[in-house]
Structure 1
Amino acid sequence: MLISKKDLVATFPTSSSRLVFILYMAMFIAQGLLVTLSREGGSEYKYNPTTVVLSTEIFKLITSASIFISQNSLKQLITTLKSETSVPLLYFIPAGLYCAYNNLAFLNLQYLTPTTYFMFMQIRLLLTGLIYQILFKRKLSSMQWFSLALLTTGCILHGYNHNNTQTSEESSTAVQSLTFLPLFFILTQVLCSVFGGVYNEYIIKGKGSETDIMIQNIYMYLNSIICNIILLSLKGELSTAFSLESLNSVLQTYVVVLMLNNTFLGIVTSLFLKQLNSIVKAFASALELIFTALLCWPILGIPVRVETMLSILIISAAVILYAKNPLPLKQDSTQLPTDHKYNSPKK
C-alpha cells in the first residue's frame, strides 16, 4: 500500500505546502535534539531555560516584524497595529498556552529521552481530532479516526515497553518518575499543545483571516512575551532571568542554534496552520518521532529497540492510511489562499 501522487496532491495541494511540511518536521526534530545536546551530557541545564524561551519569543517578534516591513513598509506596520483591536486580544489564549508548553518542554526533556518524550506527546493526536471537530465543525470520517487511533497506538507503544526492558530497580525508578510528576507535566504539555495549536488555527482562518499572517505572528509573540513575563514574576525569577549571568549562559553554541531554530519554527508553524491544518500537523508530529528515534542513535547514542521499530512500522501504516483518506483542504470554507500578500485592515 503505497502513497500515490494523487494522494500527495490531495494532502498537499501546493508546492509551498509541501515545503512548509518538510521544514516544520525538520525544525521540530532539531528542537528535541538541540535541547538534549544543550545539556552537554548532564541532567541539568547550564543555562536558564526561561531566559531562552523569552529570548526566543523576542527573536520571533523581531523576525515577523522584519518580514512584514520588507514586504510592505514600517508605516504600514504601524498603521495596521493601530487599527486592530479584537484579534490581538484573541491571541492571549494561544500565547498563554504556548508559554506553558515551551517551558514544560525543557522540564520534560530532563526526565525523558527525546524519543520517549515524543512518544508520550502523541497522546495529543486523538485530542487534536476531537477539538478540531468542535471548533471547525468538520466531522472526521471513520477511516480518518482509525488512522489517528493507529497513530496513537504506535506512538504510545515505545513508551509502554520502555519500562518493561529495564531491571526491576530501574523499572521501579522509571515507573515512579514516569507515572507521577513527569506524567503530570507531560499531560499538561499535551493539553497546552492541542488547545493552543487548534485555537491558533481557528484564529488564523477565522477572526484573523483578513489580517496578514506576519501581523498575526506579531500579536502572538507580543502576547507570548507578556505571558512569559507574568510567569517569571509568579516564579520570582524576573530579575534573575535578565541578569548578566543568565544572559551570558545562553551564549553557548547549542543554545544559540536552539533559539534560532525555534524562532524560524514559530514562523513556519503559522504558515503550516494557514496552508494545511491541525490534523496534518498531528501526522507531522508522528513522523518527527520516527526520524528523532533514528537520529538519536548516531547523535546521542540512544539505541533503537525492537519495540521502537515496531512502533515506527505502525506509525508508517497510519500515515499511509491517512494520506489515502485525507481531510480535503478545499472543503474548508475558512482555508486561506497560499499567497502572503498584505490585506488592508477593515476601517
Structure 2
Amino acid sequence: MAAKRPSSGGKWKQLFPTKCSLFVFLAYMALFINQGIMVTASQRADNSYSYNTVTVVLLSEATKLVVSFLLYLRENKASELFAEMSQHTRVLALYMVPALLYCLYNNLAFVNLAAYDPTTYFLLLQLRVVVTGIVFQVLFKKQLSKWQWVSLFILTLGCIVKQLNVTEKNAQVVTSPKTDDITSHMVSSLFSVHTGLVLLQVLCSCLAGVYNEKLLKDIGAEVHIMVQNVFMYIDSILCNAAVLLMRGELGSAFTVTALSQIWQPAVIVIIINNAAVGIVTSFFLRNLNSILKTFASALELMFTAVLSWLIFGIDIGWWTVLAIALVTYASWMYAQNPVVNRGRLDQLEGSQTSEEVRLVSSETTEV
C-alpha cells in the first residue's frame, strides 16, 4: 500500500513546528532587511564610513552579551549562570569556532567589496546556498532528498538572476560598452587572489551557521540557549578585539573622537538592530535549521528589492521579476518537503517528560 502523503497542514507543521518558530522566521528577515537599509543610510556620499566598522561590530557583540545575560536573569539567578558556565567550559571553548568564523566573515566582507565590483561579489556569494547543504549533510550526517537539492539549486539560480539586473545596469554606464570588454573584465575578476578570499568568506558563513546549529541542538543541547549566547558573544568580543589589535587600532578605536563618530542615531540603530539579529539567529538555529536560513536570506533579497522600489523608487527590472518567481517557486518546492532537524532536543525533552511523569507517579503512590 502506498505511503500516505502528509497534508498541507502537516507540511506547514514540519516547516514551522510552533507559532514561535514562524515569528522567528519573519523577525529574522525583517531585521536583516532593516540592517541593510540602515547600513546604507550611514554611508558617506562615496560609500565609505565615518566610523570604525570593527568597533561597531565589537559593540554589537557586547550589546548581545548584555541582552543575553539579562534575558537569562529573568528566570534564573546570576549564580546559576556562573555555575552553568563553569560546568560547560568545553562548550564555551567550542563556541570559539563559530565566533572566529563570523569574525572572519564580517571583516572579509569589507576587504572583498573593496576589491570586487558588487556584481561579481554577490554572484560568488550565492555559492553559500549549495555549500550550506553540503556542510549540513557532513556535520549532521543527514542526507538531503533529491527535491530538497533541486529547490536549493533553483534558489541559487534565482539569486544569480537577481544580480543580472545589476549587470545590465552596469553595462549601460561602461564607457566602452563592448561585450568582449565586459566579459574579459568579469573573467579576469574571477581568477584572482580575491576570488579565493570570497570563497573563504562563503565557507566561513556556511561553517559558522551549521556548526552553531550543531552546538545548539547536539553538543550543547542541554545548555540553556542564553548561556550558549553568552559563550558565543564572549568569544566574538575576543575575536574582534584581536582584529583591532592586529590592525593597531585597539587603543585609538575607543578614544573620545572615535566614539563620537559612532554616537550617531543611525549607527546606534545599527548596533541595536545587529544585536537583535544575533539573538533572533540563535532562536532560528535552535528551533529551525541552517537550510531554511538560506531560504530566509534569499527571500530577504527579494523583499529588499520590492521595498527599495516602494521606498526609494528604485526600478524593478525583468531580471528581478524572474528572480522573485524562481525564489518563490524554490521556496514552495522546499515547503513541500522541508528538512526536519531537531538534533538531541527531542531526546532531551522526552527524558524531561519521562522524569516529570515518574515524579508525579511517585508522589501519587506516597499519597
Question: Which residue matches 1:193?
Answer: 205
Cα deviation for residue 15 of structure 1 reads: 0.6
Confirm or deny that 1:26 pairs with 2:30: yes
Cα deviation for residue 299 of structure 1 reads: 3.5
Query: Are the counterparts in 2 of residues 275 and 336 from structure 1 also a CA contact under 8 Å?
Result: no
Q: Deviations over 1:63-100 (max 9, x none)?
A: 11111112101121122222222111001110001112
CA distance in structure 1 between the partners assigned to 2:118 and 2:284 by the alignment: 23
Amino acid at match of 2:21: S
Alignment of 1:1-347 (within 5 A): 4-106=8-110, 120-165=124-169, 166-167=171-172, 168-169=174-175, 175=186, 179=190, 183=195, 185-329=197-341, 332-335=342-345
Question: Which residue matches 1:345?
Answer: none
Cα deviation for residue 203 of structure 1 reads: 1.0
Q: Deviations over 1:227-263 (max 9, x none)?
A: 1111111111212211222211111111111110110
Structure 1 residues 210 and 338, CA gap change in structure 2 (3 angstroms) = closer
CA distance in structure 2 between the partners assigned to 1:44 and 1:170 by the alignment: 27
CA distance in structure 2 between the partners assigned to 1:116 and 1:271 by the alignment: 32
CA distance in structure 2 between the partners assigned to 1:300 and 1:338 by the alignment: 49
Q: What TM-score comes out, normalization by structure 2 length?
A: 0.83
Cα deviation for residue 291 of structure 1 reads: 0.7
Cα deviation for residue 176 of structure 1 reads: 8.6
Structure 1 residues 338 and 112, CA gap change in structure 2 (3 angstroms) = farther
Q: Deviations over 1:248-302 (max 9, x none)?
A: 1111111111110110110110111110111111111111111111122344453
Structure 1 residues 5 and 110, CA gap change in structure 2 (3 angstroms) = farther
CA distance in structure 1 between the partners assigned to 2:188 and 2:42 by the alignment: 22
Structure 1 residues 74 and 114, CA gap change in structure 2 (3 angstroms) = farther
Structure 1: stretches of 5+ with no match in the other structure: 343-347
Q: Larger Rg: 1 or 2?
A: 2
Amino acid at match of 1:159: Q
Number of corresponding residues: 336
Structure 1 residues 12 and 118, CA gap change in structure 2 (3 angstroms) = farther
CA RMSD of aligned residues (A): 2.8
Query: Are the counterparts in 2 of residues 58 and 221 from structure 1 also a CA contact under 8 Å?
Result: yes
Provide the secondary structure at the position in 2 that maps to 1:149: helix
Provide the secondary structure at the position in 1 that maps to 2:158: helix
CA distance in structure 2 between the partners assigned to 1:221 and 1:121 by the alignment: 25
Amino acid at match of 2:269: V
CA distance in structure 1 between the partners assigned to 2:323 and 2:193 by the alignment: 25
Q: Deviations over 1:110-156 (max 9, x none)?
A: 78899997665332110000000000000000000000000001111
Structure 1 residues 251 and 110, CA gap change in structure 2 (3 angstroms) = farther
Structure 2: stretches of 5+ with no match in the other structure: 1-6, 353-367
Higher mean alpha-carbon deviation, 113-122 vs 67-76, is at 113-122
Cα deviation for residue 35 of structure 1 reads: 1.1
Amino acid at match of 1:302: I
Query: Are the counterparts in 1 of residues 165 and 318 from structure 2 also a CA contact under 8 Å?
Result: no
Q: What TM-score comes out, normalization by structure 1 length?
A: 0.88
Query: Are the counterparts in 1 of residues 154 and 326 from structure 2 also a CA contact under 8 Å?
Result: yes
Cα deviation for residue 102 of structure 1 reads: 2.3
Query: Are the counterparts in 2 of residues 88 and 220 from structure 1 also a CA contact under 8 Å?
Result: yes
Structure 1 residues 47 and 286, CA gap change in structure 2 (3 angstroms) = same
Structure 1 residues 24 and 81, CA gap change in structure 2 (3 angstroms) = same
Cα deviation for residue 186 of structure 1 reads: 3.9
CA distance in structure 2 between the partners assigned to 1:48 and 1:170 by the alignment: 36
Query: Are the counterparts in 2 of residues 201 and 273 from structure 1 also a CA contact under 8 Å?
Result: yes
CA distance in structure 2 between the partners assigned to 1:110 and 1:296 by the alignment: 23
Structure 1 residues 126 and 61, CA gap change in structure 2 (3 angstroms) = same
Structure 1 residues 302 and 161, CA gap change in structure 2 (3 angstroms) = closer
Cα deviation for residue 57 of structure 1 reads: 0.5
Higher mean alpha-carbon deviation, 210-219 vs 96-105, is at 96-105
